[in-house]
Structure 1
Amino acid sequence: MILSTLITDFLEYLELERNASQKTIQNYDHYLRRFLEFAGDIEPQKIDLNLIRKFRLHLSRWSDPKTAKSLKRVTQNYFMIALRAFLRYLARQDIDTISPEKVELGESEASPIKVLDPDSLASLIEAPNVLKKDGLRDRSLLELLFSTGLRVSELASLNTDSINLDRREFSVVGKGNKERIVFLSDSAAKWLDQYIKSRKDSYRPLFIRFQGKLSLIKDGEEMRLTSRSIQRIVEKYVKAAGISVKATPHTLRHSFATDLLINGADIRSVQEMLGHSNISTTQIYTHVTNKHLQDVHKAFHSGNEPRE
C-alpha cells in the first residue's frame, strides 16, 4: 500500500475508533499531507531515519513565501508528533515501517504563560459599553471566559439552552469529545442573565453577531460568532483597556487557572475544570503560582526583615 492510502485509513481510524474531534483530524491531515508532499507517495517500508532527518531539515529551513516567517520549533515538533502517531498506527496494523520510537522531537523552550494581573483583568472585563447590545454581549462573553476557563472553540459552540443560570453550571464538550462540567461565578451569571434577557430573537447560538444580514434559517446558526470573531473581540478590548500584554481568549483561560491555584484550589480540581487529560499539562501553571508564593514569602516572612 502507498502512503496516501494509509494516511486516509489512519484519519478514518481516528474518527471511528478513537472518536477524535474534527479539529484533531484536520490537524493530523495537515501535518501528514505536508510529509506526503515532501516524501512522495511512497511505500511505508521506504520511510527511514534519513528521510525523516531530511524532512526535519526541510521544516527547519522553510519560510512562508508571503511573510518570510519560519516555523517555530514547537510547530516543527507538531509534524513529528503526527508522524509518530501515524507510525504507531501502522505498527498496530502489522505494516512494516520504521519504529515510531526512533522519531525524535527537537528541543524547544516552553513558551511563557501569559496571565493578566487583577487590575488588568478588571480593566479588560469592564471595558465594553454595556448600554449597547454588542457591549452587553461582549461583557458577558468576557465574564464567561474568565469564570469557566473555556477554550475559544468551546465558547463559540455554546447555545442559549446550554446554560443553567439557576444551578450556575453547565456541561461542555472539549478536546477528544470529552464532556466536563464548568461553573459560573456570580458576576458571570449576572451579566449572562442580562444579555440573554436582552435578546429579542429565537436564535439558538448563545453568542451571535449583530451586524450583517439576518439569518433566514430559523435556528440562526449563521448568526453564531466564530472563534476568530471572539478572538477579535478580546483583542479590541485589550487595546481599549490599554493593556500591555498581548492577551487572547486563551490568556483568560490561563488567568482562570492561575487565579484558582493562587487562591488555594488543588491542582487536580483545576485539571478537571480545564479538561486536561494529563496532570502534567496543568502543572505548567505552577511556574506562575510559584512566583506568587515567592512574592508572598518575601513580603511576609520575618527572615526577610533587616537584622542587626
Structure 2
Amino acid sequence: MTVQQATDLFLEYLRVEKNASPHTIDAYQSDLEQFCAYLAEEGIETFGSVTHVTIRTFLSRLYRAKAARKTLARKVSCLRSLYQFLTREGIVDRNPAKAVSTPKLEKRTPHFLYIEEAKRLVEAPPLDEPLGIRDRALLELLYATGIRVSECVALAPEDVDLGVGMARVMGKGAKERIVLLGEKAQEALRLYLEHGRPKLLQAADDGAGEAALFLNYRGSRLSVRSVRRIVDKYIRQVAGELSVSPHDLRHTFATHMLDGGADLRVVQELLGHVSLSSTQIYTHTTKEKLLRVYMNAHPRA
C-alpha cells in the first residue's frame, strides 16, 4: 500500500471513527503531507519501510529549519497515531515512532486576569444599545463558563437554559458537555435574548442568523475573529495596553475556580479537558499566588 493510500485511510479513520475535530484533522493532514514529501525525497515508497532513524532524521531537518518544539512534538504525536492505526489494521508490522522521544516542551504559566480586572472587563459594555447588550452577555458567558470561543460562537439559543442556569456545549471531537451559568451571566443572557438579539435579528437576510445565539450587526452568526475584536475593544477601555485574548478568559475562569477552592476534576469537566494534565497547568498559577500571599503576609517570610 502506498503512503498516500495509507494516509487517506488514516485521515478517514480520524473523521469517522475517532470523530476528531476539523482542526486536528487539518493539522495531521499537513504534518503527513510534509512527512510523505520527505519520504519521496528519500525514495521511500511505503510506511513499512520507515525506521525510527528515518523519523529522527526528518525531525532533525525540521529542527535545523527552526521549527518550534511544540510543532515537532505534534508531528511525533501524529506519526505515533498513524503507526498505531497502521499496525492495528495489519498494514505495517511495527511502530517505529515508539522509539522516538517527544521533544520536551517549556511549561508556560497561563495568562489570566485578576478578579477586579475581570469584573471591569465584563461590565465595560454599555447596556443602552443592542451590540453593547450582546457584548456584555458574551463576556459574562466566557468568564462564567470557561468555554472556548469556537464553542461560544457555535451556540444556538436553545442550547441555553436560563431556568436551571446551564448551557449545552459541543466541544472538541463533537463531545457534548454541560456548563454552569452564574447569576450575572444569566442576567446578561436574559437581557440579550429579550432586548438585544431580537433587534439584531431584524437585520438578518432571510433569517440567516436565527440558528446562532450571538449575532453581528447584520444579524448573522458572530465569528471567532469578531470575538477577538470585541475583547480587544473593551480591554483597551478598561486596561489600556494589557494584552488579553478571548482564550485568556478561559484561563481566568479556571484560575479563579481553583483559587476559590474548586476540585481539579470539577474544573477539568467544566473545561472539557480529556486529560487531567491539561487542567493541572492552572495549579501552578494558584501555587504562585499562595507563595506571593505568604511572602507578603508572614512576618518571618
Counterpart of 1:182 in 2: which secondary structure? strand
Distance 2:68 2:299 in 1: 45
Q: Check 1:281–1:267 CA distance in 2 against 1; reply closer, same or farther (3 A cut).
A: same
Deviations 1:227-247 (A, max 9, x none): 222122222222232255421
Deviations 1:152-171 (A, max 9, x none): 11101001111111111022
Instruction: Give the letter aligned to residue 112 of structure 1.
Output: T
Distance 1:134 1:71 in 2: 41
Match for residue 88 of structure 2?
Answer: 92
Match for residue 16 of structure 1?
Answer: 16
Runs ≥4 residues deviating over 4 A: none
Alignment of 1:6 onto 2:2: no
Alignment of 1:227 onto 2:224: yes
Match for residue 218 of structure 1?
Answer: none
Match for residue 167 of structure 1?
Answer: 164
Match for residue 79 of structure 2?
Answer: 83
Distance 1:286 1:185 in 2: 23
Alignment of 1:295 onto 2:274: no
Partners of 1:47 and 1:98 within 8 A in 2: no
Match for residue 45 of structure 2?
Answer: 42
Deviations 1:206-247 (A, max 9, x none): 111104xx6xxxxxxxx1112222122222222232255421
Instruction: Report the Cα offset of residue 299 of structure 1.
Output: 4.7
Quick one: percent identity of the two aligned structures? 37
Q: Name the TM-score, length of structure 2 as normaliser.
A: 0.88
- Gapped runs of 5+ residues in structure 1? 63-69, 215-222
Alignment of 1:246 onto 2:240: no
Deviations 1:89-143 (A, max 9, x none): 1111222354331122112212221011122212221222332321211111010
Match for residue 139 of structure 1?
Answer: 136
Among 116, 120, 123, the alignment partner of 2:117 is: 120
Distance 2:48 2:240 in 1: 54
Partners of 2:52 and 2:97 within 8 A in 1: no
Match for residue 276 of structure 2?
Answer: 279
Distance 1:170 1:75 in 2: 34
Match for residue 269 of structure 1?
Answer: 266
Partners of 1:116 and 1:245 within 8 A in 2: no
Distance 1:53 1:100 in 2: 9
Match for residue 64 of structure 2?
Answer: 61
Deviations 1:175-225 (A, max 9, x none): 1222211011111111111111122236120111104xx6xxxxxxxx111
Q: Name the TM-score, length of structure 1 as normaliser.
A: 0.86
Instruction: Give the letter aligned to residue 274 of structure 2.
Output: S
Partners of 2:52 and 2:96 within 8 A in 1: no
Match for residue 204 of structure 2?
Answer: none
Distance 1:176 1:149 in 2: 18
Partners of 1:120 and 1:243 within 8 A in 2: no
- Gapped runs of 5+ residues in structure 2? 202-206
Alignment root-mean-square deviation, CA: 2.0
Instruction: Give the letter aligned to residue 80 of structure 1.
Output: V
